[in-house]
Every structure is written in C-alpha cells, then in structure tokens.
Amino acid sequence: MAQYYIDYPQEEDGKMHSYRCKHCKLNTLVINGLLENHEPHCAYRMEQEVALHQAMLSGQNNKIGLGGVDEAD
Ligand SMILES: [Zn+2]
C-alpha cells in the first residue's frame, strides 16, 4: 500500500527532461514517487513524515508498527 509523493519541489537536473528534488537533489527517477527514496535529511521528506506521523497518531487507534524507528533524541 505505497503512497506516492509527487508534489515535492523540483528543479532541472542540468540534463534534458531530467529533474531532481529541490531539497535533497536526488533525481526524480531515483525518488520514483516514494518518500523513503528521498535523502533522510531532505526537508520535504521530513515535513511529510511529521505530517504522516501526526495523522497516524490522531487517526488510528490500532497499534502503530513502526518497528525500529526510534526517536533520535
Ligand atoms: Zn528530497
């Protein structure tokens, strides 16, 4: 059940018909619409992950299996 994220800011990659994420500079073909394919420090990814996390906390009562994802601090 993958959710696709294609609304991230993009910029030209310097090549024809080639674009990359404006934040983490990864090519759109590498990202392939998946949030997890952005760099971990990508501002867009972090923003979306926070929103996703909040949605999970407020919208679901079932256990959230984030296995392995610990708070960094
Ligand atoms: Zn990115």
The 10s digit of each residue's pLDDT in 5-26 is 999 999 999 999 999 999 999 9
Q: pLDDT tens digits, residue range 25-62? A: 999 999 999 999 999 999 999 999 999 999 999 986 55
- DSSP letters, 22-62, are TTT--BHHHHTT-GGGS-TT-HHHHHHHHHHHHHHHHH--S
Q: What is the CA(61)–ligand 1 centre distance, in A? A: 30
Contacts 24+ apart (CB under 8 A), 40-49: 44/5, 44/8, 44/9, 48/5
Q: What is the CA(68)–ligand 1 centre distance, in A? A: 22
How far apart are alpha carbons 54 and 56 in whole angstroms? 5
Q: How many CB atoms lie within 10 A of CB 34?
A: 14
Q: What is the CA(12)–ligand 1 centre distance, in A? A: 13
Q: What is the CA(23)–ligand 1 centre distance, in A? A: 5
Q: What is the CA(29)–ligand 1 centre distance, in A? A: 12
pTM: 0.73
